Amino acid sequence: MPQLVSQQPPPADYYATNLRLLLTEVSGRYHDLLDNADYRFVSAVLSASIPAQRLFARLLSRRGPWIRVDSLDYPEVGETEPALEALRGAGLVAVDPDAPADVLLNLLTRPELNKLFPGARARTKPEFINGCVARYTDSAIRRRLQRRIHWVCVDAFGSFNICRLLYFGDERQDLSTFVVQDLGILRYEPYEIGPSTRSFDFRAQLDGYLRLRGLSLLSGRVDAFPGLASQLLLALWSEPDTRAEQRERNGILLRLARWHERRGEFDEAMACYARATAHPARERRVRILKRLGDGCGAEMLINQIAAQPWGAEEEDFARRHDQLPRRSGARWTLCQLAGRVPAGIEGHALRLLAANVGAGWHLENRFSLGLAGLLYWDEIYAPVKGAFTHRFQLGPRDLFWPDFAPARQPLLQARTEMLSGPGAVAQRMRQVWAAKAGTANRLVSWQAFSPHLVAALERQVPAEALLRLAERVITNLYRLRTGFPDLLMIYGSGAYEFVEVKGPGDQLQPAQRVWLRELDELGLPNRVLNLQR
């Protein structure tokens, strides 16, 4: 397989090879999810000539959907015209198709536009294009443009998007992912990819997800089309079949609810919020109930939130209401600053605390997440359904979903029991660091988790404290991914603390308040260092 070399042009067949790899793996692994149109697309690409495949791979990487033919100049393709004609004959591209006139006009430079439309006058290119569109019909503009340029668009982009979705697990990744891997920018953990990790079991689930993606795009246009919001809510009435569907559905419901709420349509907003299962749906319902004078209903909902919060924001919201008992606040230490406030307030605090004896690290969430990543590495990469769809993932797709831990509960419990043995935590940290250092993991920053830090933790921080912290993180990633105190300070054997640093005027954020309470519950020393002038 051709490989990239930094600072050198890619091998001639590089992009086409990656495209063939994607389509071959999808047609083999997900053959039961592809319909006839998808199969025709895959077959057309794989049976095309090498120059046509190379050109098609380049087209897929271009910003489109309409591209100037005279911009398709790639050395590995050779002559563009034969390759383009082969793609057109295979039904993979369309040449000079009908397209919005303003988009096509934007493909030309200002001098080209002046030659084609000498009668138009405007100071800027956008004004020029708007003037042309107002003066001529789209068909007249296209006929005049064909005197100067030709354009092409990928004609089977729907099938390619399905293949890309099945391979990468979402639409945000594309063929450029291969480039990152092959340049050695990232090294990925090997993990199982097979029937047990597929996101979709049958075509209906895939179609349901694609339908929700379409509804999501429509939900951004409710202002333009009266009645669309109510139709979208009706379309979302049925329960989702997969976790991926649930996440898409939540996004649409929250967008619609906020739109109704801004318009003062509280009944409609409450209907949307009530069907969502993600923050801030319940918080917004509480606020609307209070606004409408239903204090009893608001109190009942707050109690539900407190009993089972969906995240740190919800937990903090519930605790800040008078209906709930409050715990004592975090321990604050006031320190007077001499002179101006330093630019790096956390670094300044670290130097103050370590001035006499001890060592410190400014790590924030990189410490809590990294510790959990090291100790529970194998469980993070376990073959859970829908977690892994391709070989370029920094972690499972559900890493920060609320049901991440429940989906792996027996595995996590077994690892925790194993780590409870004498010396097990230190041994695990050393082993994983030695075996995995440099391997991409969404939880672990290798620059932050240095051998020096690992050695200091092993020597001076009790293993049971590290295990309690790591277990709390790995079982609550969805609500504890942010807000961890800024500093880890170690003053000697067993003498350590986690310190949140606040400068003049700074306030604790919800996630930070949640973490300070968590550390209290775990029995781990913590405080807020308030630097004031």
pLDDT above 80 (res 408) = yes
Per-residue model confidence as pLDDT tens digits over 510-522? 889 989 999 999 9
Residue 335: what are its φ and ψ, rounded to 5°?
-130, 125
Selected residue with higher pLDDT from 420 and 18: 420
Highest mean pLDDT among 250-264, 328-342, 397-411: 250-264
- Give the per-residue pLDDT at 458: 94
The mean per-residue pLDDT over the stretch 172-179 comes to 64
Find the radius of gyration of the CA atoms of the chain: 28
Left, alpha or beta for 264 (phi > 0: left; psi -120 to 50: alpha)?
A: left
- Give the per-residue pLDDT at 173: 63
Selected residue with higher pLDDT from 19 and 169: 19
At residue 28, the 3 state secondary structure works out as helix
- Residue among 252, 258, 178 at smallest CA distance from 215: 252
pLDDT above 70 (res 325) = no
Q: Which long-range contacts (CB under 8 A, 24 or more apart) does 143-148 make?
A: 144/116, 144/117, 145/104, 145/105, 145/108, 145/116, 146/96, 147/116, 148/108, 148/112, 148/115, 148/116
In the DSSP assignment, the letter for residue 150 is -
What's the CA gap between 256 and 450, in Å, rounded? 46
Confidence of residue 74 (pLDDT cuts 50, 70, 90): very high
- Give the per-residue pLDDT at 335: 78
What's the CA gap between 335 and 432, in Å, rounded? 39
Per-residue model confidence as pLDDT tens digits over 254-273? 999 999 999 999 999 999 99
Confidence of residue 331 (pLDDT cuts 50, 70, 90): confident
Highest mean pLDDT among 170-179, 213-222, 242-251, 384-393: 213-222
Domains and CATH numbers, the chain: 14-195 (no CATH), 199-319 (1.25.40), 332-532 (no CATH)
Q: Do strands 526-532 and 495-502 pair parallel, antiparallel, or not at all (unpaired)?
A: parallel
What's the CA gap between 97 and 153, in Å, rounded? 8
pTM, two decimals, is 0.71
The mean predicted confidence, pLDDT, of the chain is 88
Environment class of 182 (CB within 10 Å of its CB; exposed 0-12, middle 13-18, buried 19+): middle
Q: Is the peptide bond before 118 cis (omega within 30 degrees of 0)?
A: no
Confidence of residue 148 (pLDDT cuts 50, 70, 90): confident
Tokens of 516: 């300070």
pLDDT above 80 (res 134) = yes
The mean per-residue pLDDT over the stretch 86-101 comes to 93
The mean per-residue pLDDT over the stretch 3-14 comes to 70
The mean per-residue pLDDT over the stretch 272-291 comes to 94
Confidence of residue 238 (pLDDT cuts 50, 70, 90): confident
CA distances from 168 to 186, 202, 226, 341 (A): 16, 17, 36, 47
Selected residue with higher pLDDT from 308 and 373: 373
Contact 56, 87 (CB under 8 A): yes
- Residue among 90, 22, 96 at smallest CA distance from 57: 22
Q: Give bridge partners of residue 527 from the DSSP assignment.
A: 499
- Give the per-residue pLDDT at 310: 82
Element (H, E) at 213: helix 203-219
Per-residue model confidence as pLDDT tens digits over 211-233? 998 999 999 999 989 899 999 99
Q: What is the DSSP string of 405-441?
A: TGGGHHHHHHHHHHHTSTTHHHHHHHHHHHHHTTEE-
Q: Give bridge partners of residue 498 from the DSSP assignment.
A: 488, 526
Outline where DSSP puts E strands in 31-164. Answer: 67-68, 93-95, 151-154
- Give the per-residue pLDDT at 323: 44
The mean per-residue pLDDT over the stretch 368-375 comes to 97
- Give the per-residue pLDDT at 184: 52
Per-residue model confidence as pLDDT tens digits over 176-209? 666 545 545 578 898 888 777 777 888 998 999 8
